[in-house]
Structure 1
């Protein structure tokens, strides 16, 4: 039964991507639908990182000894100031590694 669910979800994901990405199909979205879909990526990313940053131990942690929160704040600041994805990723991951392994042992 699990294999059936895996195959069914594979088909759903493939077909949903194929319908919108295949240029020979006559399916086109209007400007309003495209504008609404532009919010899906930030929403999904927020749903992924939000619990990791704010609930690292399964409960709300907004304290200064939360390395996830400190690294996320630095990443947001660097991204806002520099607009450089690679720099933001490398520096914030480095800070998180230092905080997690050395400072908050």
Structure 2
């Protein structure tokens, strides 16, 4: 049953990607749907990072001693100013490591 479920999900994911990525198929999305889909990436990323940054042990942790919050704010500022993904990731990870191990370790 598990193998059948995995195969069914594989087929579903492949077909949903294939329909939109194959240039020979006449399927095109309207501009309104394309604009609506442009919000899906930020929404999914926010759903991933927000619980990591703001919660610890199933409680809200928005204190000044939260290294996740400081590193996330730094990452946001660096991304906004430089628009360089690699620099943002490396500097914010280093800042998190320093804050977590040395400052509040």
What CA distance in whole angstroms lies between the structure 2 residues aligned with 1:49 and 1:81?
20
8 Å CA contact 1:56, 1:68 repeated in 2? no
Matched, 1:8 2:8: yes
| Structure 2 partner of 1:24 | 24
Q: List structure 1 runs of 4+ shifted beyond 3 angstroms.
A: none
TM-score (norm 2): 0.91
TM-score (norm 1): 0.91
8 Å CA contact 1:71, 1:92 repeated in 2? yes
What CA distance in whole angstroms lies between the structure 2 residues aligned with 1:4 and 1:76?
43
What CA distance in whole angstroms lies between the structure 2 residues aligned with 1:54 and 1:44?
16
Q: Cα RMSD between the aligned structures?
A: 1.2
**Displacement of 1:40:** 0.6
- Which stretches in structure 1 are left out of the alignment for 5+ residues? none
